[in-house]
Structure 1
Amino acid sequence: MSDIRVGISGWRYAPWRGVFYPDALPQRLELAYASREFSTIELNGSFYSLQRPERYADWYAATPRGFLFSIKGPRYLTHILRLKEIDRPLANFLASGIFELKEKLGPILWQFPPTLRFDPERFEPFFRALPRDTDQARAMAARHEDRMRDRSSLAALPGMPMRHAIEVRHESFVDPAFVQMLRHHRVALVVADTAGKWPYKEDVTADFVYIRLHGDKELYVSGYTDAALDRWGKRIAAWNRGSEPRDAHRIGAKAARSPGRDVFCYFDNDAKVEAPRNAKTLMRKLGLPMRADGGA
C-alpha cells in the first residue's frame, strides 16, 4: 500500500525544549523522542557538511522500527559547485555514512539556491548521475577521495531502491521541459510552500510526492491554520490515492494516474515551535498513527 508520512525538518532546536520536548529530556534523547512522535524526519546536517558513519549509525539506533529519514544533499554540490565537476564530491557524500541508515534510508533531497537558473545541459548529467538503488550508490561511493578513507562506509543493503527529490527556487524552472526531464529521470519536484517567496508548483514527476511546508504567511515562522491544514490534508489524500488535486498548480501536463503514491510531508516552520504542532494536527486530520511502535 502507498504510504503517507508527515514529519519535521530537523529536530534540534533550542526553542522546542520545554515546549515540544519535555523539560527534563536530555538533548541526546531528542531524536529518540521526536522519532516516536513522527514517522519521518529530514536530516539537515548533511546539507552543511559531510557527516560521519558513526553519527548515521547512532541515528539509526535511536529511532524505532519502520521510521524513515530523508537526507538533504550537500550544499557543496548544489550551491558552491553548482553541479559542475561533482563526481568525486557526490561519491564522498554517498560514502560518508548514509548506508548506515540501512532500511531507514528514505528520499534524498537536493535543494538549489534562488540564483541558479534552469539549464538543461547542467541538470541532465546530474539526474543521470543520481543512483537509483544502493548497488549503484555503493559502486559510486567506492570512488570517494582518499581523504575519506578513514571516515567512510560502504556497507549498503543490496538492491534497495533510492529516491531523489529536487527543490528549486528560480522562476526559470517554470518550464514544461523541466517537468519532462524530471519525469524521464523519475525525480520528484518538491511541492514547496514558501510564503510566496519562490515558485510554487505541484507537478507530479515521480512515484512519490515530496512536500516542504516552510510557512504560508512568513517564511520559517508562521503556523498553518486549521483550514490550511484541512486543505493540505485533501491534497495529500489525492496524491496518495494516485490522482491530483482538481486545482493543482502545474507547469506541464497532468501526470498519469497511478494505483497510489507515497507522500512525504515535512514542516520547516520551526522558529516558533509551529512545525511539530502543525505536523501533529495534520497527522490527526489524515488519520495517521500518532506514535511509532517504539521497536528497536
Structure 2
Amino acid sequence: MTGKVRIGIGGWTYEPWRETFYPKGLPHARELAYVGEHLTATEINATFYRRQSPASFAKWREAVPDGFVFALKGSRYCTNRRNLAEAGEGVENFLAQGLVELGDRLGPINWQLAATKKFDADEIAAFLALLPGTHEGVAIRHAIEARHASFDDPAFYALCAEAKVAVVLADSPKYPVLDAVESAPFIYARLQNARAELEQGYPDAELDDWARRLEGWAADGREVFAFFINGAKERAPAAAMASIERLKA
C-alpha cells in the first residue's frame, strides 16, 4: 500500500511571505487557512519555545482542511539539557498542553537536539524510553533531529529503529545529513538548502530528485513528511508547492 506524502513549510507567520506567497491584503488571521489550501502540512516551531493552550490547538485544527497535518517541534526544555534522561517531566508537560485537540491533524513531534549534544548510547536510549506511543488515547509519533556528527553511528540508528522513532533527514549545509530513513517507520525530512536567487528556492533538477525520493519512500508504504524550512525561507512555500505539483504529475 502506498503511503501518503505531506509537504509543507515551517509555521505560517513570516513577513516576507506577504511578498512571495500570500495574496496582497490577506488578513493575518487568514494565513493558516491559506497555507491549508495550498500545502498539506506545516511544522509548528512555537511549541519549541513556549507552552500553547488547548484552545490554540483547536483553533488551528479548525482552520485547515481534512488531510492537513501539523508536525510539532518538541519543547526546548526537554531537549536543551545536559542529560536527556532527565527530561521525563518536561515530556509529560509537553504532551499535556492540549496537543490532542489537533485530533487526526496531529503529525509527528520533532525532538530537535542542541547542535552541541554528542551521541551517548545510554543517554539516548533513556530519552527514547520517555517518549510514549499514545497520550489520552491519541497515537503519538516521534522523530529525533540530531545535529552533531557523532550521531552518524549505527548504534544510534538501531536505537531509533527499535523505539520506532524516525531519524530526521535534515538536508542542511550547516549540520550533518543523517540519512537513516531505511530503518524508520515513517519519513521526516527537513529541506534547508533553498537559494534566495531562485524563485522556487531549488533548481528544477533538485526538486525533481526530491520528488522521486519522496515518491519512492511512499511507494514502500511509509508516510512521508517533508518540510521546506530555513535556508532562504522566503522561497519555502514556492518550493513546497512545486514539489506537490511534481507528485501530482
- Structure 2 CA distance for aligned equivalents of residues 169 and 234 of structure 1: 25
1:279 aligned to which of 232, 236, 240 = 240
SS of 2:86's equivalent in the other structure is coil
TM-score (norm 1): 0.78
- Structure 1 CA distance for aligned equivalents of residues 111 and 86 of structure 2: 16
Partner of 1:66: 67
> Which 4+ residue blocks in structure 1 deviate beyond 4 angstroms?
none
- Structure 2 CA distance for aligned equivalents of residues 270 and 51 of structure 1: 26
- 1:95-110 equivalent positions in 2, closer than 5 A: 95-110=96-111
TM-superposition CA deviations, 1:19-65 (whole Å, max 9, x none): 31111111111001111111111111000111111111111111112
SS of 1:264's equivalent in the other structure is strand
Partner of 1:269: 230
Equivalent pair of 1:213/1:268 in contact (CA under 8 Å) = yes
Q: Which amino acid aligns with 2:105?
A: K
- Structure 1 CA distance for aligned equivalents of residues 105 and 189 of structure 2: 19
Aligned length: 245
2:203 aligned to which of 222, 225, 248 = 225
- Structure 2 CA distance for aligned equivalents of residues 35 and 193 of structure 1: 24
Equivalent pair of 1:193/1:216 in contact (CA under 8 Å) = no
- Structure 2 CA distance for aligned equivalents of residues 29 and 174 of structure 1: 41
Distance 1:34-1:116 versus aligned 2 partners, 3 A rule: same
**1:3 lines up with 2:10 in the alignment:** no
Distance 1:270-1:38 versus aligned 2 partners, 3 A rule: farther
TM-superposition CA deviations, 1:242-269 (whole Å, max 9, x none): 2xxxxxxxxxxxxxxxxx1111100003
Equivalent pair of 1:6/1:279 in contact (CA under 8 Å) = yes
**1:177 lines up with 2:150 in the alignment:** no
- Cα deviation for residue 215 of structure 1 reads 1.1
Equivalent pair of 2:194/2:233 in contact (CA under 8 Å) = no
- Structure 2 CA distance for aligned equivalents of residues 211 and 125 of structure 1: 24
- Structure 2 CA distance for aligned equivalents of residues 261 and 272 of structure 1: 27
SS of 1:273's equivalent in the other structure is helix
| Identity within the alignment, % | 43
- Structure 2 CA distance for aligned equivalents of residues 82 and 48 of structure 1: 19
Distance 1:81-1:12 versus aligned 2 partners, 3 A rule: farther
Distance 1:111-1:60 versus aligned 2 partners, 3 A rule: same
- Structure 1 CA distance for aligned equivalents of residues 133 and 69 of structure 2: 17
Equivalent pair of 2:71/2:107 in contact (CA under 8 Å) = yes
- Cα deviation for residue 271 of structure 1 reads 4.2
Partner of 1:130: 131
Q: List runs of 5+ in structure 1 lacking aligned partners.
A: 139-157, 243-259, 289-296
- Cα deviation for residue 216 of structure 1 reads 5.7
**1:200 lines up with 2:177 in the alignment:** yes
TM-superposition CA deviations, 1:137-159 (whole Å, max 9, x none): 23xxxxxxxxxxxxxxxxxxx3x
- Cα deviation for residue 122 of structure 1 reads 1.1
Partner of 1:36: 37
SS of 2:84's equivalent in the other structure is coil
Higher helix fraction (1 or 2): 2
- Cα deviation for residue 125 of structure 1 reads 1.3
